[in-house]
Chains A and B, each alone.
Chain A
Amino acid sequence: MRITPALGASIVALAVCFILVPVVSATVGGWYAYWGALLLSVVWAAILLWLKLTKYWDEEGA
């Protein structure tokens, strides 16, 4: 698998979303952390969907 700039940026963004969840929980806490985790998860899902549809779509030819 070749790492293109778009793919590299997406992987970094996914990692940032994942790491921000406990960071927000430890620093902000409360409801903001609770719903913030969901918001970060939505961003994560959107990035994955974009990657699948634009970069890896044609591989499921079954």
Chain B
Amino acid sequence: MGSIPTVLQTQIALPSPTADSALAVTVAIAAMLAVSAGIGIYCFRRCRNFDEWMVGHRDMGPIVTGFALTATWLSGWAIFGNAGLGYTYGWSGAWLIGSMNLMGLALCVVIGYRMRRYASMGARTVPEVARIRFDSRAIQALAGVTMSILLIVYSVGQYKAMASVWRLTTGTDWLWSLVITASLCAIYIAVGGYAGTQLSVALQGAIFMVVGWAFGIASIIWAGGPAQIAEAMSSAAFVRPGGAATSVPLGQYTAPIAPSFASYDWLGVVGAMFMFLLMASGFPHNIARFLGVRKTSKKDYAVLMAIVALNCVTPLMVGAMGYAARTVWGAELMNTGPIYGDAAASLVSLAIGGSVGGAVFSMAVFSAAVSTLAGMTMIMATNMTRDLICNIRPKTSPKLLLNLSRLLVVPFIALPLWWTYTSPPPVLSEFMAGSAVAQAGIFFFVVAVSMYWKRATKWGAIATVVYGMTLSLLHPSVYGKFVPPFTHWGVWALTLMFGCALIYVVVSLLTKPMPEEKLAKIFPKSA
């Protein structure tokens, strides 16, 4: 622990949950989820068939799309885990906080709008975009299964965020809170479908933008101002989860903690930068936000980008809460598992705003986690029905597919829920980054680039998926620890992402593209 201002440490004790805070948190979260579920039920009444359940009426405007896009982009990682990153890793945590996350999401806004073209050709899911682009049912099924696997891993982080905030602010057992939240989430996805999901996540995106900004600014003031925080960080040292102190300084933008840490050195930092650049377009639950967007004017498009830019500041604000917590409480939180430094944001909100502050921030965390979860669960359920079952048995009735999709929401919510309950990751955002790299490497090329690169082939796409999934197993925390140099996070991430790029391009150039007459429909001359 560094030279934390002694006055602050003695004056501001770690807040504990009280009956008041438990009640306030319960009411705030229940209200947010009830409104979200209400939107889902309203949309259910307008949803007449399987197509409308999947993409709504394709009439979403720029404000809803902008907030929905940032809501699925900024998950429990951003609104909760980022404070843990700042608290645990100091300035070196800034890379995974996503200090440059706007670069990636702005790229997604520019690239993703072309999803409209595929939606008008019948695409209702992201893998279906790949099917239309490559005229291949095999790539649709492969992409669907791959997305589901990676998204289950990513979902675990959302549950850790929700469980942690519940436990910290109410002091009660968090399993039941997860079960209740997951059930509400399942209901509004199942009944509302895409439109319900899109509108709910837009509302949730707006909530956490306001709350994140407010608490970020308040926390800097609460900790004594930017200079005080900078001074504390410059003398802080890394403390391992569990409380073992080290001499690794946290005052720089790299920290040689372990090669498996993303900011271990500048090679790792470059890996994290490219991950943030590619993953917004690579996340299927993100780019799917454009399937239901209406045709926009230039002004609308600028509004969409402005909303995205404003909300991309939110993760930095939450990161600042972590720095503030470290300044005030030192490394104390690293002693208490299983939440450790990830507790920083919730505790700061309680310290600043009391029960009401804790409740408002908890609502924002649930908003972020549930919105991303809803987007992902929707993708996973339709991956199975539209991209797998309908792919194998095209004559399956739409009504059966719709009911099956609604039913499949349950296991796709329950699987990661169980994982989180039995084996929660110690540092939430670090864990999620593993899945993010794989999604960035694979789907940035297979989906996003393929919408623009005429010469891409299905074999290039298939080879990219196979390579990306194989490399995923070599993550430093999985099998990479036995296979040097994949013990180094940066080496692993860059090999995965640049390897995907290379394989995608080389295999595409070596194999035969689609016939020109089919390509002409996808890439009209005017484009």
Contact surface of A with B, Cβ cutoff 8 Å? 17-18, 21-22, 25-26, 29-31, 33-35, 37-38, 40-42, 44-45, 48-49, 51-53, 57-62
Q: How far is the CA of A40 from the CA of B55 in the complex (A)?
A: 34
Given contacts A18-B273, A62-B120, contact A31 B312 (CB under 8 A): no
- Give the residues in chain B near A42, CB-CB below 8 Å: 102, 309
Q: Is the CB of A21 within 8 A of B99?
A: yes
Q: Is the CB of B99 within 8 A of A37?
A: yes
Q: Is B247 an interface residue (CB 8 A)?
A: no
The secondary-structure label for the interface of chain A is: helix
User: Which of chain A's residues has its CB closest to B119's CB?
Assistant: A62
Give 7 nearest A-B pairs by CB, closest first: A45-B106, A41-B102, A37-B99, A25-B253, A62-B120, A62-B117, A62-B116
Q: Is the CB of B273 within 8 A of A22?
A: yes
Q: How far is the CA of A57 from the CA of B504 in the complex (A)?
A: 27
Q: Is B498 an interface residue (CB 8 A)?
A: no
Q: How far is the CA of A1 from the CA of B78 in the complex (A)?
A: 36
- Give the residues in chain B near A33, CB-CB below 8 Å: 91, 94, 99, 253
Stretch at the interface among B17-25, B107-115, B156-164, B506-514: B107-115
Q: Is B413 an interface residue (CB 8 A)?
A: no
Cβ of B78 to closest chain A Cβ, rounded Å: 14
Q: Is the CB of B301 within 8 A of A17?
A: no
Q: Is B526 an interface residue (CB 8 A)?
A: yes
Q: How far is the CA of A62 from the CA of B270 in the complex (A)?
A: 37
Partner of B226, one of A31, A41, A51, A60: A31
Q: Is the CB of A38 within 8 A of B117?
A: no
User: Which of chain B's residues has its CB closest to A58's CB?
Assistant: B526
Interface size grouping (class) on chain B: 35 or more
Given contacts A26-B253, A45-B305, contact A53 B99 (CB under 8 A): no
- Give the residues in chain B near A18, CB-CB below 8 Å: 100, 103, 273, 277
Partner of B526, one of A17, A26, A61: A61
User: Which of chain B's residues has its CB closest to A27's CB?
Assistant: B253
User: Which of chain A's residues has its CB closest to B107's CB?
Assistant: A48
- Give the residues in chain A near B312, CB-CB below 8 Å: 38, 41
Contact surface of B with A, Cβ cutoff 8 Å? 91, 94, 99-103, 106-107, 109-110, 113-114, 116-117, 119-120, 226, 229-230, 233-234, 251-253, 266, 269-270, 273, 277, 295, 298, 301-302, 305, 308-309, 312-313, 316, 319, 524, 526-527
- Tell which of A26, A41, A49 has the most Cβ of chain B within 10 Å: A41
- Give the residues in chain A near B277, CB-CB below 8 Å: 18
Q: Is the CB of B91 within 8 A of A22?
A: no
Partner of B313, one of A21, A22, A38: A38
Cβ of A55 to closest chain B Cβ, rounded Å: 11
Q: Is the CB of A44 within 8 A of B266?
A: no
Given contacts A18-B103, A22-B269, A31-B226, contact A53 B91 (CB under 8 A): no
Q: Is the CB of A41 within 8 A of B120?
A: no
Q: How far is the CA of A17 from the CA of B273 in the complex (A)?
A: 12
User: What are 11 A-B residue pairs whose CB atoms fall within 8 Å in the complex?
Assistant: A22-B253, A22-B273, A29-B252, A29-B253, A30-B230, A38-B100, A48-B110, A53-B298, A53-B301, A57-B298, A60-B113
Further contacts, 6 of them, CB under 8 A, given A37-B94, A38-B312: A25-B94, A29-B91, A38-B100, A41-B106, A44-B102, A53-B301
Given contacts A26-B266, A33-B94, contact A38 B295 (CB under 8 A): no
- Give the residues in chain B near A58, CB-CB below 8 Å: 526
Cβ of B232 to closest chain A Cβ, rounded Å: 11
Q: Is the CB of B110 within 8 A of A52?
A: yes
- Give the residues in chain A near B117, CB-CB below 8 Å: 60-62
Q: Is the CB of B302 within 8 A of A49?
A: yes
Cβ of A25 to closest chain B Cβ, rounded Å: 4
Given contacts A60-B116, A60-B117, contact A37 B106 (CB under 8 A): no
